[in-house]
Amino acid sequence: MFNKLLNKIEPSASMAIAKRAKEMRQSGIDLVDLSIGEPDFSMPENVKQAVILALEENKTKYTQSQGIFDLRQAIALDIARKSQAQYSPDQIIVSPGAKQAILMALMTLLNPGEEVLTFEPCWHSYKAMIYLALGEYKAFPVFERNAMAKNK
Q: What does the pLDDT read at residue 149?
A: 59
The values of phi and psi at residue 140, to 5°, are -125, 105
β-strand pairing of 136-141 with 115-120: parallel
Query: For 58-101, how does the pLDDT look when each residue is reduced to its tens digit (9 = 90+)?
Result: 999 988 889 999 999 999 999 999 998 999 999 999 998 888 99
More confident residue, 16 or 152: 16
* Greatest Cα pair distance in the chain: 63
Bridge partners (DSSP) of residue 139 are 118
H-assigned helices in 5-109: 13-26, 45-56, 69-83, 98-109
What is the number of other CB atoms lying within 10 angstroms of the CB of residue 80?
Answer: 12
The values of phi and psi at residue 117, to 5°, are -85, 120
Query: For 120-130, how does the pLDDT look when each residue is reduced to its tens digit (9 = 90+)?
Result: 888 888 999 99
Distance CA 24, CA 35 (A): 13
27-31, 43-47, 114-118, 143-147: range with lowest mean pLDDT: 143-147
123: Cα within 13 Å, side-chain hemisphere: 13
Q: What does the pLDDT read at residue 77?
A: 97
More confident residue, 4 or 67: 67
